[in-house]
Chain A
């Protein structure tokens, strides 16, 4: 007798794409605002970007219910950190916390594909990219989600920087200006929207700098 497999899965994929680019004194985090399930659109206005700390912003695609649960855990851990240390968490610290939080659900993972963007202690932009169970890496740019396979090759072409593993070491920060980076993000999402059914509607861009966070909302194709 063949094994009965579950007809119900605790997971769903709500689609969407997230991108982040690190600069010398800024960080750009962008995501589309479409939330879908199967072939249906649930919302054209759903934000996938969430501020965790002054200098750390998380953008996640995947199963948004798991993403919401993940944010709650991170928010409460951040609050405890602030009580204990009397300061906000730095971006590299938040990156490690996110990795551990994801790994603690190693046997029942959060279906979330995360990109964490922010500024490090020196004010330089930093982007951390994750897989679903918490392995992470500091990079100069990253894309996650349904459109990532369309976007990453293009970003590699435009932004490819020397690997941080090379010896003698070379910096992995993008030499782009803030305006160029934002322009690149808009271009990249316009192209991804053309070829990925789960990406579109609106593009939300958050630009993090030492003096604050700016947000832009741009229309994308709604079909």
Chain B
């Protein structure tokens, strides 16, 4: 019997010709990319990345608990020291029961999550049932692995609810894929982990968990200059995801640490007009 190696064939083109032929046939095959014709690909990519300056500063987190998966993120995008946006959607809705978080290059995350959504839909149509979180994360990880070393910057978590219950995977641009029940990704992640780990219990209610997630993001935005904007919190349950809250972190600060008016000892009053 001939050994079937078709599963090993990657459809990723190493040389990016032929993109004009799939003008009308957008996503059914792996997108083929134009590559610069240079002998120094790495040097070129280094410079190109400088030009693009992907948004790296971010805080995203997700954890599994009794009632499902809680996913939260900030919304700041920075290019070097400049804040290019305070309203970036870092929690991407892949489909009604699966979410992806964005950390690293904004364009990379947006594009590959959309691509993943298309693949998940195609899987549903081909197999007459929803794709598992494990399967979806594997699809993404394999895609990213085939572009390994080319300078993509993606640090994402795939969170969802499938037949086996809640699922959470971390996937990055190296092609790494980790199953776990607590992750935080981005420059603000150490701060988020501190708050998240100290407050985490498996048996939390949805309200407690969402408050913990929100507070973790808030504390990360407080200490990390590259994180800020709006803290969004989503919950993934058996019926799909729902957005629970979206709060401006500047206002959250005064919500957690309200300013008590100081009692003035002496009050300056206007002199009465003569």
Contacts and interface: CB of A to CB of B under 8 A. Distances in A.
Do A and B come from the same complex?
yes
Interface of A: 3, 5-6, 9-11, 77, 80, 99-100, 102-109, 111, 129, 131-137, 139, 149, 163-167
Interface string B196-234: 000000000000000000000000000000000110100
Interface stretch (B45-53, B56-64, B121-129, B162-170): B45-53
Given A104-B34, A135-B110, A165 B89 contact: yes
B51 A111 contact: yes
Given A131-B107, A136-B110, A104 B33 contact: yes
Interface class of chain A by DSSP: loop
A65 to B, nearest CB: 15
Given A111-B51, A133-B105, A134-B107, A167 B243 contact: yes
A162 B48 CA distance: 34
B159 to A, nearest CB: 18
Interface in B1-35: 16, 19, 23-24, 26, 31, 33-35
Contact of B51 (A6, A109, A135): A109
A114 to B, nearest CB: 12
A146 to B, nearest CB: 13
A167 B75 CA distance: 14
A134 B109 CA distance: 11
Contacts of A11: 51
Contact of B43 (A3, A102, A133): A3
Contacts of B31: 104
B110 A99 contact: yes
B52 A133 contact: yes
A135 B45 contact: no
A87 to B, nearest CB: 17
A11 B38 CA distance: 14
Interface string B36-47: 101010011101
B82 A107 contact: no
Nearest to A172: B87
10 contacts: A3-B40, A6-B38, A99-B111, A105-B34, A109-B52, A131-B84, A133-B54, A165-B75, A165-B229, A166-B248
A108 B106 contact: no
A111 B24 CA distance: 25
Given A5-B40, A131-B107, A134-B111, A107 B87 contact: no
Contact of A108 (B48, B230, B244): B48
B88 A137 contact: yes
B52 A107 contact: no
Most interface-central of B43, B51, B75, B151 (chain A CB within 10 A): B51
Contacts of B248: 163, 166
A193 B54 CA distance: 28
Nearest to B73: A165
B150 interface: yes
A2 to B, nearest CB: 12
A106 B35 CA distance: 9
A103 B23 contact: no
Interface in B215-262: 229-230, 232, 243-248
A139 B52 contact: no
